[in-house]
Structure 1
């Protein structure tokens, strides 16, 4: 490798390494959000590897976009010496890294826009792999211990990735504020790409399962302890160390075995189910869903990974029309009893009338919208009588969240012409 190439590669990698603050990050006004912050060590290692491979067949600091594109073609045809044929999907990673390199080194002759990137292969979710309401009920009922139940409910009601879930600390979970919120552990490795990590997100129907598990947790009063630990009956447990990703995967393997469901049930598939349910059954807008699962606002995940959902909407409407599916069917609604307080629930309940636990994202949206409207009313209230009325409405909504869920027309009433 040419010494100039080695130095140029180090420059771009070090610029995104938070352990090298002396190296300034580039300021690109038109850069995607993933290039405006530090990157994970694993990502930087991949960049280093990709650029080293490029430098094996090119002089990066003295080449052209045409030569780069020619080498990419040889990659997928297996025509490079000492390198096996790779797929277009794998080659895309090399091409995208090359684009980052030349965007950074804009003083070189190569315009990064001229580096071709192979068309992205479909990563969409197969609609037939999504769980039915009956299957979701089976998944909820499958765990045989409080720890595993907490894992299953967190996966089902938050869509968290494996790493984000297993690195949650007790202090990251608030079970007393607005039916439960959680914050991503920003100190954990592997989560720097999680968008808006300091913003609270709803726990929805997972609140009861978490409360139940904390009664068995080895150190429930320690906010720095990890929420999910090894099972206490299996000997000494260290709550200051996160469980492995295999622990979370094994929980879902047991669920699959117990339920006999012939569909993928690994943790990431539960994330796909969460998104599909949010869109298909609760009509959540794309921006809300992307926020809930930690994607950037400019992410194209809804049009790639979840591109089946627009067609699925029509399928659901057809099933309702044919009498196969009931209108208002709710997969996230508990089947008979509230998991937080044990109150019997009507079919497709969006919230518990006794304890106020909210189960579905549309119920949470309705409640928040009314809260916002009440807040606006408080700002505009002039007389003490008006302010007392606003306070009364706020108190009533807080004590009866099911009203917000079951009566969305109240949102319109409070929002007025806004």
Structure 2
């Protein structure tokens, strides 16, 4: 029996007699025990652990954007689960995931992102011997429909999206995304002055702070030129329509694309990453070499590019006829 259990038993025994507990009686009961109040810092050291973890990951070379996302997800968890890292259980994790699903109504992809973040965090704590048992060891990943989530827009759907655009800002944004294959974060950080309109090129900074040159279509250049003439101010590639004309943040760009897709009446949920996938799929189906697409998308591994760009049967038949059957 530990001291805490023993003391509780003695206190309960004294209270059960029905007599009032005097200060002297209580002092006698507590004789031989040293009682200290557990501080908030001791009860929940998660914020400190998170700080150390992010510091370690920064040294490992993670980008500022990735670190920012990790911090937001982990601090959300710490605010909901007020325990020290060593006392967090698998049930605490499951309860938090249920909260994200049932109360915050996060989509499965977002839920999986939170799960991945927690798995990396608690795995690090366990490796660093800050916790004896990893509460994420029994938490499984969600079974996501990755292929369905990346179903590229067809040529007809893309035209419907273009037709639904209102104004040159929306037209230029859709064209730029679908003709460059850029990531949302890459587009959000660009400035109008970064573009070479004559050569139709722009240098973007991708994952791992790696720079690469991407290209855009003639149609994109025309839409951009019209947009630059029509807008009232701002130096971002895509800016707010209201003063002080700040560059559009990623969420604002997402909202614009979603609004256009809703007006187009498309069945699927359209977002900037889907336009990136559409670029890769259409480029491959048109015969572009997969290694060229890999470079344009900024992928380190060609296998990642092949996930985005799915070969359909017609393309396989065309390539076979062109390179094999005729010989």
Same fold (TM over 0.5): yes
1:316 and 1:127 map into 2 onto residues whose CA distance is 21
In the alignment, is the contact (CA less than 8 A) between 1:183 and 1:201 conserved in 2? Answer: yes
User: SS state of the match for residue 181, structure 1?
Assistant: strand
1:111 and 1:299 map into 2 onto residues whose CA distance is 37
1:227 aligns with 2:237: yes
Match of 1:13 among 44, 47, 51: 51
How far is the alpha carbon of 1:12 from its aligned partner? 3.3
1:276 aligns with 2:272: no
1:50 match: 77
2:313 match: 314
Q: 1:113 to 1:275 in 2, by over 3 A?
A: farther
How far is the alpha carbon of 1:247 from its aligned partner? 6.2
1:181 match: 202
Q: 1:249 to 1:69 in 2, by over 3 A?
A: closer
1:239 match: 245
1:20 match: none
Match of 1:150 among 148, 172, 177: 172
How far is the alpha carbon of 1:204 from its aligned partner? 3.7
How far is the alpha carbon of 1:153 from its aligned partner? 0.8
2:25 match: none
In the alignment, is the contact (CA less than 8 A) between 1:50 and 1:94 conserved in 2? Answer: no
In the alignment, is the contact (CA less than 8 A) between 2:261 and 2:269 conserved in 1? Answer: no
**Which aligned pairs between 1:25-40 and structure 2 lie closer than 5 A?**
27=59, 34=62, 39-40=66-67
Q: 1:315 to 1:194 in 2, by over 3 A?
A: same
Q: 1:316 to 1:217 in 2, by over 3 A?
A: same
1:288 and 1:301 map into 2 onto residues whose CA distance is 13
Q: Where is the helix percentage greater, Structure 1 or Structure 2?
A: 2
2:152 and 2:207 map into 1 onto residues whose CA distance is 24
In the alignment, is the contact (CA less than 8 A) between 2:168 and 2:226 conserved in 1? Answer: yes
1:121 match: 143
How far is the alpha carbon of 1:166 from its aligned partner? 4.5
How far is the alpha carbon of 1:157 from its aligned partner? 0.8
How far is the alpha carbon of 1:98 from its aligned partner? 4.7
Q: 1:314 to 1:27 in 2, by over 3 A?
A: same
Match of 1:108 among 106, 130, 137: 130
In the alignment, is the contact (CA less than 8 A) between 2:44 and 2:85 conserved in 1? Answer: no
1:212 match: 226
How far is the alpha carbon of 1:106 from its aligned partner? 0.6
**TM-score if structure 1 supplies the norm length?**
0.50
**Which aligned pairs between 1:167-178 and structure 2 lie closer than 5 A?**
167-177=189-199
1:267 and 1:301 map into 2 onto residues whose CA distance is 18
How far is the alpha carbon of 1:194 from its aligned partner? 3.6
In the alignment, is the contact (CA less than 8 A) between 1:162 and 1:268 conserved in 2? Answer: yes
1:251 and 1:243 map into 2 onto residues whose CA distance is 13
How far is the alpha carbon of 1:154 from its aligned partner? 0.8
1:248 and 1:74 map into 2 onto residues whose CA distance is 30
Deviations 1:337-376 (A, max 9, x none): xxxxxxxxxxxxxxxxxxxxxxxxxxxxxxxxxxxxxxxx
2:303 and 2:142 map into 1 onto residues whose CA distance is 12
Q: How many residues align?
A: 277
2:22 match: none
Q: 1:95 to 1:251 in 2, by over 3 A?
A: closer
1:199 aligns with 2:212: yes
2:108 and 2:232 map into 1 onto residues whose CA distance is 48
